[in-house]
Amino acid sequence: MSIPFEPTRSYVYKAARYELLPRIAEVARDFGDEPFQLREISNRLLAETYTPEQLEIRIKKAESDKTEKMSKIFGFYIPFLAKNLRVFENLGGGRFRNISIDEELAEADAVATDVESNDSGIIYAYTFPSVRRVDGKFPIKVGLTTTGDTDARVTQQCRQTCCFEYPVVLKTWEVQRVAAVEDAIHSTLEARGSKRDAPGNEWFDTTLEEIEAIVKFVQPIQRPVGRQ
């Protein structure tokens, strides 16, 4: 686990969202379109990740003297996040299902707003640890989301593809006319010969600094979101 362990509700939330859910999604791929019990997968991964003593630790509730076992708090956050981040389709009764390719494509079409639209949103840039470089250009994917949750969007993109690593979101920018800004970034990088021959049309051999310069040129007033 890359998040340092500590017996707090905040830790359980972050571990559930950023460490366990991506691993659960990897396991769930084997079910294809068949329903599965999320609790069965999560309990197995919890047992592989934590000692029984850690899962038995009792954590104080917010604004209350009552306590709950860490395992119970994980049992709340994992299905809560899976449902609200739309990592899986919630069928009720603890049963979930992978979101079909057709549904994902429909959602992607909905997110890819018209270039002439005035909708605001977030531009994101992500890569994978094995190809990331400190100096020089490396493969970066540049996309957009209007949902406000970049991590969920990137997780959704990677869930149904052959991703053997967890993606790393390098930076995000909150902008106006998000589709037009994304189109400008893609067009500029493609004109510079940076477009990669890869699935999809958003991968480029570039640097974070180059992307940032284009964003600032297209929309001088923009706001970084979450990551600097």
pTM of the model: 0.51
To the nearest whole number, what is the mean pLDDT of the chain? Answer: 83
The pLDDT score that the predictor gives to residue 78 is: 94
> In this structure, are 123 and 90 located in the same domain?
no
| Sheet of 95-97, strand order | 36-37, 95-97, 89-92
Instruction: Tell me the three state secondary structure of residue 44.
Output: helix
> In this structure, are 74 and 137 located in the same domain?
no
Give the pLDDT band of residue 157 (cuts 50, 70, 90).
Answer: low
Helix (H), strand (E) at residue 179? helix 178-191
Pick the range with the lowest mean pLDDT from 21-35, 104-118, 187-201, 202-216.
104-118
The pLDDT score that the predictor gives to residue 74 is: 96
- Is residue 1 domain-resident? no
The pLDDT score that the predictor gives to residue 104 is: 55
> In this structure, are 124 and 71 located in the same domain?
no
Region 30-48: mean pLDDT is: 94
State which of 51, 73, 98 marks the end of a domain: 98
Domain count for the chain:
2
> In this structure, are 193 and 145 located in the same domain?
yes
> In this structure, are 159 and 206 located in the same domain?
yes
- Is residue 46 domain-resident? yes
Tell me the one-letter amino acid at 202. E
> In this structure, are 90 and 57 located in the same domain?
yes
Give the pLDDT band of residue 38 (cuts 50, 70, 90).
Answer: very high
> In this structure, are 218 and 115 located in the same domain?
yes
> In this structure, are 87 and 113 located in the same domain?
no
Region 57-78: mean pLDDT is: 91
Cβ burial of 27 (10 Å; 0-12, 13-18, 19+) is middle
> In this structure, are 40 and 69 located in the same domain?
yes
> In this structure, are 92 and 113 located in the same domain?
no
Q: Is it the case that residue 200 has pLDDT exceeding 70?
A: no
- Is residue 2 domain-resident? no
**Rg, Å, the chain Cα set:** 20
State which of 98, 120, 152 marks the end of a domain: 98
- Is residue 216 domain-resident? yes
Domain that holds residue 70: 9-98
- Is residue 59 domain-resident? yes
